[in-house]
Amino acid sequence: MKIVLIGPPGSGKGSQSSLIEKAYNLPHISTGNMFRSIMKEKSFLGRKVRGYMDNHQLVPDEVAIEVVEKHLSKPKFKNGFILDGYPRTLKQAQELDKLFNIDVAILLDIKTDEIIRRIQARMICSNCGEIYNTNFFKGKFCLLCGNSLVQRKDDKVDIVLKRVNDYKSQTLPVVDYYSKQNRLKVINENCSIEKTFNYVKNFLEKVK
């Protein structure tokens, strides 16, 4: 199965991707994690990506498409994958379709006030990117790799609002694109990770 997860920041794409990865044994690609790791590299690409990420902008299509397509050409993605945070522009979606037949695009649609509430409780592992909610997890270190948990620099309220606006202008056309092709499934209920995953599983059972 080839799955795309779409949603505004804080909608739970990362959490759902991890659950799908485990339940369906599919490799998960978070382009946010991928670019956070690339920007640490002391290379031309690393510096270029850092420039956009430091300004909380999307990496330009030509860079994002090249990096993601190169990554997806690895044999482990041949039989399927979950894309979390990609495609985020119409151009990315159109280019992806030239290479892969995406089975389903799942939209996690939540309202802006809920996004702010969730993001204020979000911490991520500084090493592996695992996500924690401070309402439920009081530890300071990642349960998977033991590294420290940090707040993402772009999880501040003013920056989140900018990211939500970018999502509306740049990513909603992607939602429309999949919807017109009858490949879109929407979860627009603000519910727990577990309940959201039940909806996701229902969609995926019909695709398999």
- Identity (one letter) of the amino acid at 109? D
Provide, rounded to whole angstroms, the least separation between the CB of residue 124 and ligand AMP: 9
Residue 108, SS3? strand
140 close to 99: Cβ distance less than 8 angstroms: no
- Is 88 designated active site? yes
Q: Does 58 bind ligand AMP (CB under 6 A)?
A: yes
The pattern of x and - marking residues 12 through 51 that bind ligand AMP according to CB under 6 A reads -------------------xx--x----------------
DSSP string computed for 152-194: -TT-SHHHHHHHHHHIIIIIHHHHHHHHHTT-EEEE-S---HH
From the list 2, 118, 122, 185, the catalytic residue is 122
- Is 152 designated active site? yes
Q: Does 9 bind ligand AMP (CB under 6 A)?
A: yes
48 close to 41: Cβ distance less than 8 angstroms: no
Contact residue for ligand AMP among 53, 93, 104, 204 (CB under 6 A): 53
Closest CA to 129 of 84, 92, 162: 84
Contacting range for ligand AMP; rule: CB under 6 A; set: 74-82, 84-92, 186-194, 200-208: 84-92
* Cα distance between residue 14 and residue 161, in whole Å: 19
Q: Which residues bind ligand AMP (CB under 6 A)?
A: 9, 31-32, 35, 52-53, 56-59, 64, 85-86, 88, 92
Enzyme catalytic residues:
13, 88, 122, 152, 163
